[in-house]
Structure 1
Amino acid sequence: MSLDDPNTPNLRDYDAKLRDEAAEPSLEVPQSEPTKHTQIIAIYGKGGIGKSFTLANLSHMMAEEGKRVLLIGCDPKSDTTSLLFGGKACPTIIETSTRKKLAGEEVKIGDVCFKRGGVFAMELGGPEVGRGCGGRGIIHGFELLEKLGFHDWDFDYVLLDFLGDVVCGGFGLPIARDMAQKVILVGSNDLQSLYVANNVCSAVEYFRKMGGNVGVAGLVVNKDDGSGEAHAFAEAVGIPVLAAIPADDDLRKKSANYQIVGSRASPWGGLFAGLAEAVGVAPGLRPAPLDQDGLLGLFDSKDTGGDVVLEPASDADMRGKKGVAKASLEVIYDEV
């Protein structure tokens, strides 16, 4: 029986496990229809790839063009809004809720939601390292948002910033539970960020097969050095490139100094205006995720080790100096 055979018991068990996780009561966030014009968009990417930079400037440009925008940080680092607020830490929903609960008080909008340049923003937060599950923190955060009236709010765009290189259930919530209409990926011309982007495409495809509706609207190429791997990835999986943000020293310095460049007053305003327009109209597509060899094939083999041939190990290799030949228990019959 082949491991590629979908009837193989191990694969059936794995599929069943994924389905059970998706159906866990703890993943059932109460939902109702959002305001009809609201687009809820989940942005995924590898940690450190520039999602917060992209989102802060994108949301600021959208607001500048008259859109009502809510930016929600869903990263336990709670740094999605740091650029928007000039480096200041935004009190997180989870920490604030815990503190208020201990004091016997209710959380209010003004405790957790802040605004600048027309953008409304908040951080869900998460546990410290080794002190809890970040995914469960995300689920708890959305439960609190529901209590605050999330589905009664009037926004044109709700942008959710998620880590793509964390695979537990909470971080896949928008895809698994159809909480967002579409997903946007942020990546660069490096293998690790495209590996993460490909994993998110795989998650989207998996839940589409289960009856989900979330699609991938496209890829934002950040720190683009012109080498082309990210564009090749987008073409290979069947999604558009929504914008290519260059690897420019001016952008790097402004980001490091918490300066907004997503504004018509900035030389980079046109870039983010184009991204804002593309984000608004791009449909959610069903991607065709790559296998590992297909992903490696986007890069020069000398950079990825793509020419390596797998050499099977033997029992003698594993035993090393401790290897002692043992008599075989196999019964060998004389030829008749």
Structure 2
Amino acid sequence: MKNIPVLHVCENSLAAAHEKALTALYQNGVRFRTQYDKPGDPLSLDCTMNITVLDPLAEPMIHKAFPGGIEDLREYVMELCGAKDHWVKNMNDPADTRWEYTYHGRLAGYGAWQEKRDGQSVRAGGFDINQIEHVIAKLVKQPFTRQAQMITWMPNIDLDCFDPPCLQSLWYRLMEDDEQPGTSWLNCNVRFRSNDAWGASFMNMFGFTLFNRDVIAAAIAQRTGRTIKLGRLNWQADSYHIYGKDIAEAKTRLFDRLAAGGSLADRAFEFSDEAIQEMYHEAEAAVRAKIAAYDATH
């Protein structure tokens, strides 16, 4: 085989799209080595994947087939909104073992991070760009612009980084609703260079759906007085993969269940369910305590 398969799925909800994408990968992906394999690990399953979610807020929204729970989803949404930006390490301190980056940090303060010059790490003075604010402002001024884009990749850092950002870009455009005056639909394209289909992809999609709703759409609505709803989410992953070490778990928890029959409702939660909402919002205190505990030791 000489070509990496390019797979396409389209579903109405996040949960349905996640399940269909995993199934397409399991059935049609190719085996690949990765730089993170340990001795004896099976080869991963890999493909290039394009997922279209027609209504990202449609129920059922939360698929059970991801290695986490409601508190983990809450933590990830908080992270995308900046709760862990201070966890990024000082690149001038070799003993600093904190993170290389956060997505929110790259989006809200692109260029404020360290850049490398002549082997030394220095502050990138005069190059601090809040891309989130610029995207919102562009869409407020000209909803049909094709320039409302945010990126994470910083070549001066990431080409030599052991674990560079998986998220590469977010692109937005507003579609005016002809049948509902005063209403626009926020369409979004997200591109990942590498997306762990079993271990991370669902949380990524869920997190950026709420980021789009609560940060981008809410700000546009507040500034324009228009109703801004979430339109389709298009998710492009250059490498959409299940690591070899995770294939057996994915088979047991999802693919064997699919073979046994049943409906999507049996394999998913409704995010709007009162019990799920209670768990989700109550999780914030535990997440903040977890962050504070990390802060105390790093």
TM-score relative to the length of structure 2: 0.28
TM-score relative to the length of structure 1: 0.26
Which structure carries more relative contact order (alpha carbon 8 Å, separation 6+)?
2
Over alpha carbons, which structure has the higher Rg? 1
